[in-house]
């Protein structure tokens, strides 16, 4: 591939971006990959007819990759064999630098003075052939990414945060792809309107039927059947297929043909044995919702209040968002069940075990130790 050779002969970091079609297709597959490197120019790669991109991987494997919001693109890039050894995440760098807005367009405009045309971000990138104006839009996403990287790196250096960023980028790489979410059906919009385990069982059954159909058709699940329609069907509890057809969405031509499929799923959930029904709340080993702490453990509520106040002060002092100083879930876990004995060494150990980076530990260990010993 000629472009692979051009990448080898280029210099400096390589800008990388990917376009998906998650609102249209099943999953998070990459349908277009954009690359740009000094001396190599911009390349737009279609991974559908070119599933083997090993020549591209070999050409840039040892080069720093510059991405914006790397967590969004690295999984789909990894699926097609594109895996970086080093990265610079401009979105995360902008957060660490304290920029008020961290979207690509906002950061480019703020630091480089350019306005990016953002008109096709939600387009169906599985479309073939891709319209020329879409390709121009895609190319612009990597056009100034390396310049943006250099501007952010200079700010981080001035603020003494270069090492912080290095640790954050390394953490992204070592974390690997995200683990599958437990009980993904619980993410259905409107699920909180269902009040019984039986209703949850019906929703789970309907969600699984939709997911199976969406996977086989390679269509985004929401396009097969909207979340709102599933929740409405469970709440209506139709007695037969005819009653299901009376509900909005199910009256449409596409779902009229699938009415037996949907009603069977609902009936399966409704007849499920009691001991197989899902629990009312998602099982987990974490602390309860914060709004219940004061009643269940007032001392823990006090500890969390102290910890949050200290983190807010640090956030303002270093112009870093609180959530980037330390993962909120880790803070909650530490304050709900502080390590024993409650001293700095045990807090540091707990922070490391929870995935905190060394720069985060250095900043927060003392205040969290103080919070842990308050009650």
* Low-confidence residues of the chain: pLDDT under 50: none
Q: Which CATH number fits domain 290-372: 1.10.287.130, 1.10.3720.10, 1.10.150.80, 3.40.50.300?
A: 1.10.150.80
**Looking at the DSSP assignment, which residues form a beta bridge with residue 65?**
14, 87
Which architecture, in CATH terms, is 184-276?
A: Orthogonal Bundle (1.10)
The whole-angstrom separation of Cα 248 and Cα 240 is 15
Q: Tell me, rounded to whole angstroms, the distance of Cα 6 from its chain centroid.
A: 32
Which pLDDT score is estimated for 276? 95
Structure pTM? 0.92
Which pLDDT score is estimated for 284? 66
Q: What is the CATH number of domain 2-175?
A: 3.30.420.10
The whole-angstrom separation of Cα 253 and Cα 231 is 20
Decide the pairing of beta strands 41-45 and 86-89: unpaired
Which pLDDT score is estimated for 179? 80
The pLDDT tens digits of the residues spanning 263-315 come to 999 999 999 999 999 998 776 668 999 999 999 999 999 999 999 999 999 99
Burial class (CB in 10 A: 0-12, 13-18, 19+), 200: buried
The whole-angstrom separation of Cα 93 and Cα 321 is 12
In angstroms, the Cα distances linking 324 to 68, 94, 97, 106 are 16, 11, 11, 19
The whole-angstrom separation of Cα 17 and Cα 76 is 10
The pLDDT tens digits of the residues spanning 35-44 come to 999 999 999 9
List the domain boundaries for the chain. 2-175, 184-276, 290-372
- Given a contact cutoff of 8 angstroms between Cβ atoms, the answer to whether 237 and 270 are in contact is yes
Common-topology check for domains 184-276 and 290-372:
yes
């Amino acid at each position: 591939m000629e472009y692979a050779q051009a990448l080898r002969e280029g210099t400096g970091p390589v800008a990388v971006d990917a376009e998906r079609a998650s609102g249209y297709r099943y999953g998070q597959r990459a349908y277009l990959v954009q690359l740009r490197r000094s001396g190599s120019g911009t390349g737009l790669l279609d991974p559908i007819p070119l599933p083997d991109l090993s020549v591209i991987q070999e050409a840039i494997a040892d080069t720093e990759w510059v991405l914006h919001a790397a967590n969004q693109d690295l999984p789909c890039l990894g699926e097609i064999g594109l895996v970086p050894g080093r990265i610079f995440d401009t979105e995360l760098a902008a957060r660490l630098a304290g920029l008020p807005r961290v979207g690509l367009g906002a950061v480019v405009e703020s630091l480089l003075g350019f306005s990016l045309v953002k008109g096709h971000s939600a387009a169906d990138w599985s479309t073939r052939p891709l319209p020329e104006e879409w390709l121009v839009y895609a190319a612009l996403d990597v056009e100034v990414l390396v310049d943006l990287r250099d501007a952010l790196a200079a700010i981080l250096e001035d603020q003494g945060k270069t090492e912080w960023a290095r640790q954050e980028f390394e953490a992204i790489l070592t974390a690997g792809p995200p683990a599958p979410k437990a009980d993904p059906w619980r993410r259905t919009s409107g699920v909180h309107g269902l009040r019984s385990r039986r209703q949850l069982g019906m929703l789970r059954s309907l969600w699984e039927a939709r997911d199976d159909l969406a996977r086989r058709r390679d269509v985004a699940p929401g396009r097969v059947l909207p979340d709102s329609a599933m929740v409405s069907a469970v709440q209506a509890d139709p007695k037969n297929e005819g009653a299901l057809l009376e509900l909005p969405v199910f009256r449409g031509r596409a779902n009229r043909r699938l009415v037996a499929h949907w009603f069977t799923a609902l009936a399966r959930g409704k007849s499920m044995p009691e001991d197989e029904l899902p629990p009312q709340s998602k099982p987990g080993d974490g602390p309860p919702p914060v709004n219940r702490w004061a009643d269940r453990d007032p001392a823990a509520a006090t500890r969390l209040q102290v910890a949050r106040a200290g983190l807010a002060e640090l956030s303002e002092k270093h112009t870093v968002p609180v959530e980037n100083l330390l993962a909120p879930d880790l803070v909650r876990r530490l304050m709900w069940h502080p390590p024993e004995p409650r001293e700095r060494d045990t807090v540091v150990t707990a922070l490391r075990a929870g995935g905190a980076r060394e720069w985060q530990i250095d900043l927060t260990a003392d205040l969290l130790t103080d919070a842990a010993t308050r009650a």
